[in-house]
Amino acid sequence: MTIPRTILVPIDLEDSGAQVLDYAVALAAKLDAKLHVLHVVPWPLLGADIPIAVTDTAMDEFMKGKQQAFDELVAAHAARTPLGSAMLKKGDARTAILAAAEELRPDLIVMGTHGRRGVSRLVLGSVAESVTRTAPCPVLLVRSGLATRP
């Protein structure tokens, strides 16, 4: 087994993304590894969840807000460890994370999980579980709300 030198960190801006990124930054510092940070905005946002029409201008503003929040979070952590890239993508999180893993060839993926069980897991699905089962490298899951320094 080799020590990870490249780590992919998919984060969720709405939940515990900052905690997961804190954990990954501390781990990368200990391992002298480079981080690649990824946030995926679910796209299209419209459908059964939002039964209203949204203009292109509103969507552009929404993406600008996501980009700003992502940039601020990454900038707050960038000084503590080498950062390879910071990517904001649109689409299905599972697909985008796996595509980034294929492209970057990380030695490790560090991502958060809600730890849902039962019906809520069945209804909401699990991005973390899907990535864990199909990733081309090991995946370290950090439970939301429990992230501490490694």
User: Is domain 6-143 in CATH 3.10.310.10, yes or no?
Assistant: no
Residue 46 reports pLDDT greater than 70 = no
What is residue 46's three-state secondary structure?
coil
Mean pLDDT of the chain: 83
pLDDT at 26 (0 to 100): 93
* Mean pLDDT value of segment 65-73: 93
Helix (H) or strand (E) holding 63: helix 56-78
The string over 9-45, giving b where at least 16 C-beta atoms fall within 10 Å of a residue's C-beta and e elsewhere, is bbbbbeebbebbbbbbbbbbeebebbbbbbbbbeeee
pLDDT band at 150 (very low <50, low <70, confident <90, very high): low
pTM recorded for the entire structure:
0.83
Phi and psi dihedrals of 76, rounded to 5?
-65, -20
Whether the CB-CB separation of 13 and 69 falls below 8 Å is answered with yes
pLDDT at 48 (0 to 100): 47
Phi and psi dihedrals of 39, rounded to 5?
-130, 135
Phi and psi dihedrals of 10, rounded to 5?
-80, 130
pLDDT at 120 (0 to 100): 43
pLDDT at 116 (0 to 100): 55
pLDDT at 119 (0 to 100): 47
pLDDT, tens digit (0-9, with 9 covering 90-100), for 91-147: 899 999 999 999 999 999 999 987 655 444 444 458 888 999 999 999 999 987 655
Whether the CB-CB separation of 131 and 139 falls below 8 Å is answered with yes
